[in-house]
Structure 1
């Protein structure tokens, strides 16, 4: 009995060591450390006073130069959210396509024939880039629980050169890896898309499947692949340092702000130039649409320096 028990525990120990070794090898193959360590990056929106100093011709040219293609990753189980996004904020993208895990006849979508989220993201961005790289210079990738204010995104991108490798949103840290959280949406410049497509052809650096022992989330895997091409995650903030990509809903953020300091709910909650909120239901989407685009305080004129018009054939404001 003692001998059998000893053999059992010896086998258990050897098996445990083997698992750790395999996990370590899988971690290396995914390429966490091809580049030198770097500091966390922060990107800020333009200062409104700087924009006001531009001539009217410069403002018009800049407002027309930012072309955003929205890539929305959907599953059939998300039909209600899918429908809500179609009818609300996505109409403000210069182009929007819904990339689905399978064909759904009720909606126009591009089927990528996989339910694996990383493979789904890879195939979607590859199709988007190969078909539209000459038409759009910024790509916004998100899931259907996100509500995005595309005009605020364009304002944020105003002085950023899409020929540079931008990869931005709400950054999170996992070990030594900075990555943009998919829950708040991910923005890639056309240069970053170009580099991403090229690393797809290097399976040793950017495998189509995750780790050997456990799956790596699609947003982390994206960061790993981009890091091999020198593209690093950058946290997007307004001119005073508040996050503009939010991984929670407005309601959740307000509750947190009230708990932290009831006297400073607005200051502690959200940026005036917020770009995304997450975790919304289909009904929440409609409420957000009303609050962001349709509700007006009579007699007030905002006199914004720039005007971003919705695309042609859009029935939104």
Structure 2
């Protein structure tokens, strides 16, 4: 009986140790060294051009820049979020120069590229490869979920003076262990060069496996960062000229609520950038309200005197 009790206790101890090891592994984020030692484009912080910088440009230069900055929107959807899918299609995605929805399975309700893939990471890889192959002359890519609300003109302003032939990977940059990555929920921006390198490393199963090999399952955003890091592309935080973040994983309502608590005497300044690119965590109805506020509501007699204008895509019915 004593021997049985002893065996039971040993089993309990071994089981506890095993669970502890798994727990530690689960909280560990793998650190990968990039094999690319040249051309390390490592900004950390990518800022939009200031008004003073724009003033130095001629009208012709600004017009040329505004015409050149064109965005291919990669929007990942599933039939179970059909109402968000429909809302994104009816609102902010109209301002993309090309908006393509990628789905896990076909749906008769809305048009999308059916990737016939249940695994999130594999589906994302296929979507990005499709975007790369079908982008034509578009040189910037915006990856988003349908629950994200984006102001594409503000995105274009952020990347206005950036060269897409350099490897940019921009958004709300976060850190997990030694890994810097861009948060998926608030949108991810990739330049043509970054996407080209990514598509190339997709072919290397050792550096960027299609199916995870670890005991723990990494999120798509972290797997994306790992694969990009192998090519010398690093996560960068998108900010306005004052250093405020442009990519938000919360709704405007939540950000204002946070500001009321933390900075009640200056709520507007404490909330968010007036050149914000994305917000998230909103219902479809709230996204429609955002659309009205951003594109349709104007105070009479108030002129913003913007230095340049981003024209809508040809044939677009956007606001």
Name the TM-score class by shorter chain.
over 0.9
Check whether the contact 2:25–2:216 (CA below 8 A) recurs between aligned residues.
no
Give the structure 2 partner of residue 130 of structure 1. Answer: 133
2:53 alignment counterpart: 50
Pairing of 1:62-141 with structure 2 (within 5 A)? 62-132=65-135, 134-141=136-143
Counterpart for residue 169 of structure 1: 171
CA displacement at 1:279 relative to structure 2: 1.0
Q: Deviation per CA, 1:20-48, whole angstroms, max 9, x where unpaired?
A: 778999999x9622249x98811111011
TM-score normalized by the length of structure 1: 0.92
Closer/same/farther in 2, CA of residues 221 and 114 from structure 1, 3 Å limit? same
Unmatched tracts of structure 1, length 5 or more: none
Q: Secondary structure at the match of 1:123?
A: helix
Task: Measure how far apart 1:166 and its partner are.
Answer: 0.4
1:191 aligns with 2:172: no
Q: Please state whether the residue corresponding to 1:183 is helix, strand or coil.
A: coil
**1:282 corresponding residue in structure 2:** 284
Secondary structure, in 3 states, of the residue corresponding to 1:86? helix
Residue aligned with 1:102, SS: coil
Question: Is it true that 1:234 corresponds to 2:236 in the alignment?
Answer: yes
Are residues 24 and 260 of structure 1, via their aligned partners in 2, closer, same or farther at CA, if it must alter by over 3 Å?
closer
Contact 1:26 1:211 (8 Å CA) reproduced: no
CA distance in 2, matches of 1:41, 1:305: 27
Tell me the CA shift for residue 7 of structure 1. 2.9
Secondary structure in structure 2 of the residue aligned to 1:184: coil
State TM-score, norm by structure 2: 0.92
Give secondary structure in 1 for the equivalent of 2:291.
Answer: helix
Tell me, yes or no, if the aligned pair for 2:26 and 2:216 is still in contact at 8 Å.
Answer: no
Once the two structures are superposed, the pairs formed by residues 230-269 of structure 1 within 5 Å of their partners are 230-269=232-271
Structure 1 CA distance for aligned equivalents of residues 27 and 87 of structure 2 = 39
Deviations 1:86-118 (A, max 9, x none): 111100000000000101111110011122221
Structural RMSD (CA): 2.4
Q: What are the ranges of 5 or more consecutive residues in structure 2 without an aligned counterpart?
A: none
| SS class of match (1:226) | helix
Q: Which residue of 1 aligns with 2:31?
A: 32
Q: Does 1:153 align with 2:163?
A: no
Matching residue of 2:183: 181
> For residues 194 and 263 of structure 1, do their structure 2 counterparts lie closer, same or farther at Cα, with a shift above 3 Å needed?
same
Work out the CA distance in 1 between the residues paired with 2:210 and 2:22.
Answer: 18
Aligned-pair CA distance for 1:300: 2.0
> After alignment, is 75-84 or 7-16 more displaced?
7-16
